[in-house]
Amino acid sequence: MSVSENQGFNTRAVHAGQAFEPRTGAVVPPLHFSSTYAQDGIGGLRDGYEYGRGGNPTRDALQEQLAALEGGSHAYSFSSGLAAEDSLIRALTRPGDHIVLGNDAYGGTYRLISRVLGEWGIGNTPVDMADLDAVAKAVAANKTRLVWVETPSNPMMKITDIAALAKLAHDAGALLVVDNTFASPYLQTPLALGADIVVHSTTKYIGGHSDVVGGAIVVNDPTLAEKIGFVQFAVGAVSGPMDAFLTTRGLKTLGVRMDRHSDNAQAVAEWLLERPEVEAVLYPGLPSHPGHELAKKQMKKFGGMISVQFKGGEAAARTVAENTSVFTLAESLGGIESLMNYPSEMTHASVKGTELAVPVNLIRLSCGIEDVEDLIADLEHAFTFIGTGS
Ligand SMILES: Cc1ncc(COP(=O)(O)O)c(C=O)c1O
């Protein structure tokens, strides 16, 4: 079945790029491992397939599915989120160009931009993306080519107005990139709000099962698509067939999972808010969150990620991080199982001592799809160790 943009999200998730195999009727399209394709005479390609780096039907199916869900014309799938980001920046910037990015961007994104691409002449300015005046100043101060935002951001959970930021970037002749990893296309579609490019770590909610590393870029402009497609082909950081297959399988259930992640996180956040040990709960679903009204406008629900800061400082945060059992202490997020992270020493250790450093009294929760009573009981038990020196 082919899908149309008028169909609902879950219909597109299940069917886009997933037509049954015509010879056998296999409902799940076969996984294509072949690295090369027979030619009917020199240059006689079947359906355009020539060599696995340039094209693979399993990867193409995932790309079609990603484009259909983000509302883009083209999607490109990569071997990791950072591989996607690297290809994107190489496709769209040249030495002397500048990137303005959030001052709480994912640590690996900042490391890539500052320590790898910085060596090749790409400048950067980290700025508070929620402060549009500060962004406008930073954009104007250099030859800014890309404005790069995560919303919600990782791990400070800040919400940025995508439509306003797109206008600001466009007025300055720059492009807006939105890292949509935390929200996923089920909760938020940045291209529809005016963004030029969406990037993902598909390792997270899109894959959804913590069993595959990948990344994606989605655009709605043929000129951008051509440039990005060329780098994907010429550099070759593509997702392999098995990774593409697993990601496609995960993506089919994204909507169902995101509803549950969001409902669980909302309940956990409301519970945390009542706890005397807690200094702040950073979750856009709480009316007390400064980005709540904006999140309500640009997101369908508020997602599965929560950050928590403790009155007892670093010791309390570390104690909770190390004393849960349903929440597993591990890097990453967005899988069906709940994960606990201490960003300052784990996911964001690479930005320690920079202005992107994460407060040491903060833990980040990725709320899975388990029964929410068990998530709360697990946290309640871990809280009993605060102040005991355990
Ligand atoms: C928001 C965000 N963007 C990008 C990345 C990088 O993706 P990957 O780890 O798949 O390379 C991550 C990884 O944690 C992330 O959280």
Radius of gyration of the chain (CA): 21
State how far the alpha carbon of 25 is from the alpha carbons of 22, 60, 80, 310, in Å. 5, 19, 32, 56
Please report which confidence band the pLDDT of residue 1 belongs to, taking 50, 70 and 90 as the band edges.
low
Q: Could you tell me what percent of the chain has a pLDDT over 70?
A: 99
Active site residue 204: yes
* C-alpha of residue 177 to centroid of ligand 1, in Å: 14
- Say what the pLDDT of residue 389 is: 55
Please report which confidence band the pLDDT of residue 340 belongs to, taking 50, 70 and 90 as the band edges.
very high
- Say what the pLDDT of residue 126 is: 96
Containing H/E element for 63?
Answer: helix 57-70
- Ligand 1 atom nearest the C-alpha of 203 is 10
- With beta carbons less than 8 A apart as the criterion, state whether 360 and 385 touch: no
Active site residue 49: no
> Which among 326, 338, 331 has a CA at the least distance from the CA of 365?
338
- Say what the pLDDT of residue 264 is: 98
Containing H/E element for 9?
Answer: helix 9-15
Domain locations along the chain: 9-251, 255-383
DSSP codes joined into one string, 130-157? T-HHHHHHHHHTTTEEEEEEESS-TTT-
Q: Rounded mean pLDDT of the chain?
A: 96
pLDDT: is 58 or 349 the higher one?
58
Active site residue 260: no
- Say what the pLDDT of residue 338 is: 98
Fold: same for 9-251 and 255-383: no
Pairing of strands 215-219, 197-201: antiparallel
* pLDDT over threshold 80, residue 94: yes
Identify which of 148, 154, 206 to mutate to test ligand 1's pocket (most ligand atoms within 8 A of the CB).
154
Please report which confidence band the pLDDT of residue 3 belongs to, taking 50, 70 and 90 as the band edges.
confident
- With beta carbons less than 8 A apart as the criterion, state whether 83 and 231 touch: no
Mean pLDDT within 222-229: 98
What is the C-alpha to C-alpha distance for residues 128 and 140, in angstroms, rounded to an integer? 15
What is the C-alpha to C-alpha distance for residues 16 and 71, in angstroms, rounded to an integer? 12
Is the torsion defined by CA of 149, 150, 156, 161 positive or negative? positive
Mean pLDDT within 228-235: 98
pTM attached to this predicted model:
0.97
Per the rule left: phi > 0, alpha: psi between -120 and 50, beta: everything else, 357 is beta
- Say what the pLDDT of residue 352 is: 85
What is the C-alpha to C-alpha distance for residues 302 and 258, in angstroms, rounded to an integer? 9
Topology of domain 255-383, CATH: Aspartate Aminotransferase, domain 1 (3.90.1150)
What is the C-alpha to C-alpha distance for residues 337 and 264, in angstroms, rounded to an integer? 12
* pLDDT over threshold 60, residue 358: yes
* C-alpha of residue 188 to centroid of ligand 1, in Å: 17
Q: Could you confirm whether domain 9-251 is CATH 1.10.10.60?
A: no
> Which among 256, 213, 390 has a CA at the least distance from the CA of 315?
390
